[in-house]
Chain A
Amino acid sequence: MKSSTFRKLLAIALLAITSTVGAEEVLRLGLLGNKFNKSFSAGVFGFAQERQVFEQAFKKDGVKVEWTFYSAGAPALNEAIANGKVDIAVYGEVGSIAGKAGTLPTRIIAPNGLGGGKNYILVPATSNVSVPADLKGKRVALSRGTAPQLLFLRWAREIAGISDKEIRILNLGSTDQEATFLSGGADVLIGSNLDLVDRGLARILSVIDADANPIFAGFGNVVVTQSYLDAHPERVQTWVDAYVKIAAEVADERYRNDFVRLAGKTGTSAKSARNTLPKDLTLAYAPVFDAYYYTRLRTAIDDCRRFGMIPRDIDAAKWVEPRFLEKSLKDQGLAEKWGALRSAPGPKLAEEAKP
């Protein structure tokens, strides 16, 4: 009896040991899902996913790359990071800033694109609003805690001369925004879609052109958890090397149609994708931490704080960990490739840079 129990215990122990030995190492990538819940990414990560860039880079080390798309958006991604389910996360400025302000131990290891294209401030076709300043006290339908909130409040401040306290934000999910606007429950709508204008139900009050005015350009961040960075700095380097390589190749006008095609895989219409793609792809997807990037990051943190979206300040310089990217650019002979380009737009912003 005793011997049988011993044998069983031994078998369990052996099974546990062998399963540990055989366990595959995994690098867990967390990305934002899309409204159609498709497991595809747009932008540079769309190319990386399609060509299995990271999988190839880690093949020799026996590390499996796992892609998880969080369709519940940045809050879900932040919660997954906090739960230790994600090693490297790719998301927008507001989500990543909110996570960091919520004391998530993350470090930015690469930028991920600079938004461009056009967004529109729409009012009902019959509205008596004729100039942006008329929106004082009006109701805008948008999702709070998202990039559109930051964009709209920046527009209100810069163009309409209205503070965030002088406008009423109706916090609505994307599907309810249009319904509320059409039923007269909201006076303003923001977006890149002009369907309502085409149908004669809305008119454009203002065009927000991120290409013409960089303050309206959103951007993305790639962050790694501090624990993963401490445990596997060499893997972070391998990952950044692969990322820089693919970004350097596809951040080029020749790939514009492919950017549109990949956006289509996430459920975005070609028309909408063309409308929101930056005018200068080389500039937008440059994988560099330059004065331009730091200024965008600092401005976004300041604005999130000013608009009450984060409870505390973030030290941008300490948040960014540039050594991996710098090494990659140097090793791949790309250190000088984007320097001249990125000093061109937004001279006012570049002057205020805080590297």
Chain B
Amino acid sequence: MKRLLRTILPPLSVQLAVLLAWYLSGKYELVPTTLLVPPERVWETAKDMWSTSELQTHVGWSLRRVFLGYLIGSGAGIVLGAAVGISRRAQVWLGPTLDIFKQVPVFAWAPMMILFFGIEEASKLAFVAVACFYPVLLNTSQGVQSVQSRHREVGEAFGLSRTRIFLRIVVPSAIPSVLVGLRQSIALAWMAVVSAELLGAESGIGYFMTYSRLLFQMDGVIVGVLAVGAIGILTNALLGGLERWLVPWTKEVA
């Protein structure tokens, strides 16, 4: 209990302080309330949106895009990252090409996405997938390459096959690094989905925030920001749980 309080209390007190500052700045009009809409009005807007299922619809669409795009992008990142990390030949063949495309900002891909995948869902998923791909690729290849050679040698000394060395030694050693990539990617996925939903979307939290801003409905923008933030916290907690389950030893070492 004491430990839980120690973990929760500090961030919670900062968040409450921010909320209080927000409330007071609105109450005493320290900032234009037309821009920074007071929390009570934002709450009313959120409630209205919830009661009409508007909020759930937008969040649902964005979650779907983030989830599928993340799955595709990070999946490809893990496979290619492992290949580049483990195989010298794969690195020679694929490395330079991957390096070239790594330099291209994800937003610059937008016209190509529309051209190749059309304006419907596929282009939005591709946009998110590209954003997630590189952090996972780099961290995976780095994780695989950083497996200590003496660990491999121990495996070889025990007469393990290459597949078993990969599964029993390389994978467990690389997982912490892969998880770092996955965590970085999920944040990028949310940034990417907001941009992807500018590409002719009709729904989604990014679309909703942009549309609200265009029509000067700043309460809507703040509802969107808070929704993305809340989902971000949940996703991060989920990935943290996954990390503790997959690599419990990293925590013990720490």
Residues of A at the B interface (CB closer than 8 Å) are 74-75, 78-79, 82-84, 98-99, 101-105, 139, 141, 143-146, 168-173, 176, 179-180, 183-186, 309-311
The residue that B217 contacts in the complex, of A102, A105, A169, A185, with Cβ under 8 A, is A102
The residue that B202 contacts in the complex, of A74, A103, A171, A183, with Cβ under 8 A, is A171
The residue that B199 contacts in the complex, of A172, A184, A309, A310, with Cβ under 8 A, is A172
Give a binary string over B102-122; 1 marks a CB under 8 Å from any A CB, 0 the rest.
000000000100110011100
Closest Cβ neighbor of A169 among chain B residues: B202
Residue contact B214 to A75, C-beta cutoff 8 Å: yes
Closest Cβ neighbor of A83 among chain B residues: B32
Residues of A with C-beta under 8 A to B215: 75, 98, 101-102, 145, 309-310
B242 to chain A, nearest CB (A): 35
With A83-B35, A144-B211, A309-B215: A170-B114 Cβ-Cβ less than 8 Å: no
With A171-B201, A176-B200: A78-B216 Cβ-Cβ less than 8 Å: yes
Residue contact B34 to A103, C-beta cutoff 8 Å: yes
Residue contact A104 to B114, C-beta cutoff 8 Å: no
Residue contact B114 to A180, C-beta cutoff 8 Å: yes
The residue that B200 contacts in the complex, of A78, A98, A180, A309, with Cβ under 8 A, is A180
B96 to chain A, nearest CB (A): 31
The residue that B34 contacts in the complex, of A82, A170, A180, with Cβ under 8 A, is A82
Residue contact A179 to B32, C-beta cutoff 8 Å: no
A102 to chain B, nearest CB (A): 4
The residue that A180 contacts in the complex, of B32, B33, B119, B214, with Cβ under 8 A, is B119
B142 at the interface (CB under 8 A from A): no
Residues of A with C-beta under 8 A to B210: 171
Closest Cβ neighbor of B32 among chain A residues: A82
B164 at the interface (CB under 8 A from A): no
Give a binary string over B154-188; 1 marks a CB under 8 Å from any A CB, 0 the rest.
00000000000000000000000000000000000
A-B contact pairs, 7 of them (CB 8 A): A75-B214, A101-B216, A101-B217, A146-B214, A171-B200, A176-B111, A185-B120
A262 to chain B, nearest CB (A): 27
Residue contact A98 to B119, C-beta cutoff 8 Å: no
Residues of A with C-beta under 8 A to B89: none
Tell me what chain B mostly uses at the interface: helix, strand, loop, or mixed: loop
Name 20 extra pairs, CB < 8 A, besides A83-B32, A102-B217: A75-B216, A79-B216, A82-B32, A102-B34, A102-B215, A103-B33, A143-B214, A145-B214, A168-B202, A170-B119, A170-B200, A176-B199, A176-B200, A183-B115, A183-B119, A185-B119, A185-B120, A185-B200, A309-B215, A310-B217
B198 at the interface (CB under 8 A from A): yes
Residue contact B118 to A183, C-beta cutoff 8 Å: yes
Residues of A with C-beta under 8 A to B70: none
A145 to B207 Cα, complex, angstroms = 12
Residue contact B114 to A176, C-beta cutoff 8 Å: yes
Residues of B with C-beta under 8 A to A84: 32
Residue contact A141 to B200, C-beta cutoff 8 Å: yes
B68 at the interface (CB under 8 A from A): no
With A83-B35, A84-B32, A185-B119: A98-B216 Cβ-Cβ less than 8 Å: yes
A186 to B201 Cα, complex, angstroms = 12
The residue that A185 contacts in the complex, of B118, B201, B213, B214, with Cβ under 8 A, is B118
B218 at the interface (CB under 8 A from A): yes
Q: Which of A82, A99, A105, A173 has the most CB of B within 10 A?
A: A82
Closest Cβ neighbor of A180 among chain B residues: B119
The residue that B35 contacts in the complex, of A74, A79, A173, with Cβ under 8 A, is A79
B60 to chain A, nearest CB (A): 18
A171 to B33 Cα, complex, angstroms = 28
B217 to chain A, nearest CB (A): 6
Residues of A with C-beta under 8 A to B118: 183-185
Residues of B with C-beta under 8 A to A75: 213-216
| Closest 5 A/B residue pairs (Cβ) | A145-B214, A185-B119, A170-B200, A102-B216, A82-B34
CB under 8 Å from chain A, chain B span 135-169:
none
